[in-house]
Amino acid sequence: MLLVEVYEELEAKRSTPFLAFGSLLGAVRNGSMIPFTEDVDVGYVGEFKTADKVKLALRRKGYHMFYMGIWRVCVAPTHPLAGRLYDPELPMTESFAVPYVDLYKMKQTSSGDWDMQELEGSNVRLLPHDKVQPFSQVTINGMPFDTVRDPKFFLKEAYGDDYMTPKPREAGSNEQRSRR
């Protein structure tokens, strides 16, 4: 639900969304989300010139979009299902322990390569043009989503040669590790 609604709003505002990092990894591994991760990873192309419009559209649907190093979206208390998703009797949760979407900017450089926010690959944040465009598609639970042209190349850059092997979550894992 969260993935679909955020993805659709980015499409509607012409921000060219695509699956990245852990969401792409889940789609490639088994056509679903990775079960032990709380977040969804969506990339968008270029500068986020419509951030205010996307924020407003998502707010109307009961989501909260905010900037904390990168753009993020979570379920707001105004969402129709918020009462079923959260228990007000429980203490505050740890950072990143609830469902949310991370939004990663990708922009084309003057050389034609692509600079992907938060990527730590062999060429730091850069991806070759021919590995990015034209976009390809993957499915999550039978629904198609755009992604980079060569998902296996992207995943190898992001997670290494053994990206298809699930790795146990480490105690005190940070959000970078939770994308695996």
Task: Please tell me the total count of domains within the chain.
Answer: 1
pLDDT, one tens digit per residue, over 40-65 is: 999 999 888 888 999 999 988 888 89
The percent of residues in the chain predicted with pLDDT above 70, rounded, is 81
Alpha-carbon gap, residue 44 to 8, rounded angstroms: 12
**Residue 65 belongs to what H/E stretch?**
strand 63-68
Instruction: Find out whether 31 and 141 touch, Cβ atoms under 8 Å.
Output: yes
The whole model's pTM is what?
0.85
Tokens of 41: 């990873």
Q: What angle do CA 24, 26, 27 make, to 5 degrees?
A: 65
pLDDT, one tens digit per residue, over 78-97 is: 656 655 555 667 665 565 55
pLDDT, one tens digit per residue, over 115-156 is: 999 999 999 999 999 999 999 999 999 999 999 999 999 999
Of the candidates 122, 95, 106, 113, the residue with the CA atom closest to the CA atom of residue 178:
95
Which residue range is the domain that position 29 belongs to?
Answer: 2-178
In this prediction, residue 168 has a pLDDT band, given cuts at 50, 70 and 90, of confident
* Radius of gyration in angstroms for the set of CA atoms belonging to the chain, rounded to a whole number: 16
At 172 the pLDDT is: 52
Instruction: Find out whether 117 and 109 touch, Cβ atoms under 8 Å.
Output: no
CATH number of the CATH domain containing 153: 3.30.460
